[in-house]
A and B are shown apart, each in its own frame.
Chain A
Amino acid sequence: MYEFDWSSIPGALPTLARGLLVTLQVTLVAVAVGIAWGTALAVARLSPQAWLRWPAAAYVNLFRSVPLVMVILWFYLVVPQLLRRFLGVSSATDIRMVSALAAFALFESAYYAEIIRAGIQSVPKGQLDAALALGLTPAQAMRRVVLPQAFRNMLPLLLTQAIILFQDTSLVYVIGLADFFGAAYKVGDRDGRLVELVLFAGLVYFLASLAASALVRRLRRRVTA
């Protein structure tokens, strides 16, 4: 029978906290960029202009058709080369954080774009007609009338996607970035207490996601009410 020994956790808390900070950082940046860039992609996909529609559709379909873990790895392998060549970043700079942020932000944008596109389509066409009839340009109508209603309708879905993203950030372990999961793994490996540390990390992910899901349920009730 395996004997649990949790004694290495209290001493490791500062390391784990630093890891959690990386996890939150990647999550927040990916959500913020994902929603902003995803909105642009969604509007482009719904545009009457083919030259906007096609590249946006290609982007979204490409990123939705490849595994996230591969995107993270590609960015890690390719981005540093590009940065070094074009920006003259020295090879000593830790490029893992930058490439992880870029990979998550660009990958999640594709998923956010689909959620936001559905949200825009959930706003009745009469609303757009009314905004245009008042003399608003299509861009003003989108910004002032359609998008505010679309975001209100899709807020629960956006947050659900953020929870999935929060869990998916653990995939940065493939490039050796010490996020919360990576930090837990390292401490466990060092102290020979991998089972305890990974269980503990799982519990933290579980509780955080559970709390966020409860928030989403409350929001959903308010939105549908």
Chain B
Amino acid sequence: MKDFKQEKTRVDQADRTIYNVKDRLDPAFLMDSGITPEIVNQISKEKNEPEWMRLFRLKSLKLYNEIPLPTWGPSLDELNMDQIVTYVRPKSTMKAKWSDVPDDIKETFERLGIPKAERKSLAGVGAQYDSEVVYHNVRAEVASKGVVYTDIESALTGPYSEMIRKHFMKLVPPSDHKFAALHGAVWSGGSFVYVPAGVTVEIPLQSYFRLNAPGAGQFEHTLIIVEEGAYLHFIEGCSAPRYYVANLHAGCVELYVGKNARLRYSTIENWSKNMYNLNTKRASVEEGGTVEWISGSFGSHISYLYPMSILKGKKARMEFTGITFAGEGQNLDTGAKVLHAAPDTTSHISTKSISRDGGNSTFRSVVTVTEKAEGSKSAVSCESLMLDSISRSDTIPVMDISCNQADIGHEAKIGRISESAIFYLMSRGLSEDDARALIVGGFAEPIAKELPLEYAVEMNNLIHLEMKGSIG
């Protein structure tokens, strides 16, 4: 007699060995934990910043102390800011050659495959270790087109200082929310990219952020300006070894997409599972411009991540493609926001999420269409797959429409693997296990195909699906 006891599909963790290697803690400078005006002044002094930035940091700190924690989203009660070290300077200044980077730090990035990727498929690389950028380089042929790719501290005091001052935290003002204010106060590291008008950067640039110090925060700032008619693909990767104390990532990304320009921003987020990932990303898109967000969220203990696009020019476009994979001990609250503020603008949000082993995945979005956005179109689609009944998957979209000449569509689906799909595939000759493997694998495929090949491979490693028996 057939045993009807069914084994659950196993969706295993990826092998995190390469991410979990912990370097010996050997910084050149380690700030006291907590956040005070003295610490903020000290960070500014360490960086030899202009006075306006020091004042900006202090103003942000004041806002940080005034703004309450969010009353929605995953609980942040266990995040004790008094125990977070906001600044850790590694024992290396920024280098333009990997051979000049200290061996232990270089080995970390070697293990993560960054120098190899740079040689094979990138136009430039920035590598940040704890609070400072340790490596930055851009190919000569790209630099010769006028493309600037450097760490943001150098840009702040160099020939682009006025450009930085004009754009820095203008899209994401410190008053936006508590962790934007925190970022304004203690930001450190990150990248500045400037692509002149009409220039196409044919192969991507990448910044990789590695947080090694336990109990530390990483607050890098990424500022990208893509001028009229230009194109750039920027890739952001991040990881950290797992510790038993909370780490915090409160970075900020500001993207300025010019008229008829196009910017593709890909992120593979693979923080360790003690990380609070409270990142803020925002893009401003001028007439005819396009911003494309590709986002894979795999790591972190708790995430709040909702890239926002402000479509301020006529016919501006945004596309957001994201996947979230929440496993044991993870509460990942992710999604996207878009503001249609000009006529004939278009947005398309497509997300997938998988919850398993008690993981909690939430899709959260807001689509706002103002009175000015006549002829605009928006489509939102989110699909969630639940792999067991101890996990959660929630969908919380908002549509705020103040224009009667717009077309807005939204659809969401949640559930398990369709029995009829399995039946169909089995009728075509596949075994039940193969049919289930094909369906689960195919669920994430639309996202994987948007990624550069090596990142698609990394994602497939992260979602390693081992099929045993059946779901249900």
A and B from one assembly?
A: no
List residues of A whose CB falls within 8 A of some B CB. none
